[in-house]
Amino acid sequence: MPLGANKAAIMGVAGVSKADVVLLATNNITSAVSASAFTSGITSTYGEYIFKFYGMHPATDDVYFEFNVSIDGGSNYNVTKTTTFFQGQNAESGSEGGVAYKNGDDLAQGTGYVRLATNLGNDADQQCAGELHLFNPASTTFVKHFYSRAVTPHSANYANDAFIGGYANTTSAVNAISFQMSSGNIDVGKIKMWGVK
């Protein structure tokens, strides 16, 4: 739905804290990088952080777009996580649609990166987009819940719609997040971070 004149009131403006949702930072990737991280701005100021990713194009074919979090400002991205992953897909031919839980794409007390989008193709017209919500990252009492939804063209020409949920199983404050492809570079893309009051 177009936001029109209400966009600033709803989504906020960078550096302006009057809105309920405030744009905090934008990582605009215009040339290949191995990862894109936010190592500042994740504090107790906001109870929820939203990361939206646009036009994420991999340099390598058939890879995963994924993230991990840090409790030491980005020195290490190895927090223990448990996740669940299910996905709907349909072939461009319309012949192979379905919805399935994908236990090979989730984590069970793992420290690796969380898959947000699977089997992303790197054809010139292929890219993924979506959003990740991270809740109460500064808590030193509770685990840190998150969920994501991402849409992507599969390298074998399927439309994929991925749903991910889980938690970072730590009572330490999460203060940094990193996004990457499972192999090779992020060719181009944009990631925005918002804080929600």
Q: What is the pLDDT of residue 12?
A: 54
Domain annotation covers residue 4: no
> What's the rounded Cα separation, in Å, for the pair 57 and 21?
27
- Residues 197, 20 contacting (CB under 8 angstroms): yes
**For each successive 10 residues of the chain (197 residues), what is the average pLDDT?**
54 60 97 97 97 96 96 98 94 85 93 94 90 98 98 83 97 98 97 97
What's the structural domain count of the chain? Answer: 1
Domain containing 39: what range? 22-130+139-144+151-163+173-196
pLDDT at 169: 98
Predicted pLDDT of residue 97: 85
pLDDT of residue 91: 85
10: in domain? no
Cα 151 to the center of its chain, rounded Å? 11
Is residue 6, in this structure, part of any structural domain at all? no
Vertex 11: Cα angle to 153 and 28 (nearest 5)? 50
Instruction: Let me know if residue 50 belongs to a domain.
Output: yes
User: What pLDDT does residue 121 have?
Assistant: 87
User: Does residue 7 lie within any of the structural domains?
Assistant: no
State residue 1's pLDDT score. 44
Domain-located, residue 65: yes
Name, in order, each residue with C-beta under 8 angstroms of 97's C-beta and a sequence gap of 6 or more.
Answer: 88, 89, 90, 91
Q: What is the pLDDT of residue 125?
A: 87
